[in-house]
Structure 1
Amino acid sequence: MKEEFIDKYLRKEHLPHIWCAGCGNGIIVSALVEAIDSLNIDKDKICIVSGIGCSSRAAQYMNFDTIHTLHGRALPFAEGIKLANPELEVIVLTGDGDCTAIGGNHLIHGCRRNIDLNVIVFNNNIYGMTGGQCSPMTPLNARTTTTETGNTCRDFNICKLTEAAGATYIGRSTVAHYNHLVDMIRKSFNNKGFSIVEVLTPCPVQFGRRNSLKTPSSMINDIKEKVKSNSDIYKIGIFKNTREPEYINEYINNI
């Protein structure tokens, strides 16, 4: 991260962070603050909301108004904050387990309502902090602590799931494509509605070691190769960017 961003946007008294070596979460935080800085968003108009998990630890390092909530419940907290103060830019930092498993129902209904939130999903294909269990984003045949001989369930495609549920801005990027990631996040702020950016990121300790990806660099290379494969679940870019009625505006107009 650029030094000026550390001084401006991080709580340096909480550093160094506790993420494992090779984790991509710091790259996502860097991309987020770079996107915020490029748009000159007032820090006092930003609220960061997170749930539970490795990704959700990001909130405690960021020098904004932040709230570290319950597992899977970041979205309803964020919706309440946005309803109470629609002028805020409310950003949700969540993991693939936090968002699509225990918080999956909140995700689809947040999309359906098209409430004006910016959601960034740290997708490392596993429950990283809470024991290395299989998540809805764990690939078929991948090994985890709860699928020791290989995962027998197909994984979600977050972008297609949220498109079907009604999100109005949907993007995907990776920590191996930094400038692209900054651009995806930056563009999400221009949408007045439910915006989601899925970020593919490595978990060397819980996922990599169990799946013959023994170093962070090998996991980054694996992400790059999967993106090159152009399969639906690894394509990067913007998949939807439309304007539809936003929930809070509709709610206020009908009071």
Structure 2
Amino acid sequence: MNRFYIFYSFCLILLSSSCAPRRNLVYFSDLSNKTGNDQLIIADTEPKIQTNDLLSVTINTLSSESNILFSSNTNNINKSGYFEKDGYRVDKEGNINLPVAGLIPLKGLTLEQAQQRMVKTLSNYVKNPIVNIQFQNFRITVIGEVNNPATFNIPNEQINLLEALGMAGDLTVYGKRENVLVIREIDGKRTIVRMNLNNRDVLNSPYFYLKQNDVIYVEPDKSKSIEYSPNNRLMPLVVATISAIAVLSTALLSN
């Protein structure tokens, strides 16, 4: 009878044990325990205008006629003749096509630099122009092991990786904090970078501050695939069967 108890106990321990490795669920776990951890921000935090971006351009001058002429809601046709209802589309050469002024190259500039360039260009046609430019297509997508995967529009054109994950409801317990992918496309080139959120060095990565149309993918841990595998779904049935056999065998041997 003791042999059956030993066999039964061994089976329970074997089936209940997990083969998943222990994981670190703490962000920046390598930070020291000091009260302050000051770091200079060396990453490029300002997004730059890219090909195919949609820009909202507002131009104010001393002339009401000029304001109407430069409005993005009228006469907004780019070099290819493509009409945009809500803004100016940056063409393949990196230009927008402004009425009167014509093609203005903005690719590779920050919004502030683009505004300065347009003011300089428009000063040849009107006096003291005031230019305001905003992205109309600044959005990021967060998918994978997060609580609320979605695509988010960013109104202030500046967001970092932690803020994006926070908007998506943070990682689930299955999300691999040491292996978060940032997928970025610039000028027809796709770059995929792995980010380790357990390491504080991620704060200095050029991919910590996100750009327009970035995609963040949180990879699931192996424990999730093990938990949801067909074999593990049968584990409760196997345990119940072994238990029944052990109890039945004990009862028969005791008689």
TM bucket normalised to smaller: under 0.3
Tell me which structure has the larger Cα radius of gyration.
2
Kindly indicate which of the two structures has a greater share of residues assigned to helix: 1
Say which structure, 1 or 2, has more relative contact order (CA 8 Å, 6+ apart): 2
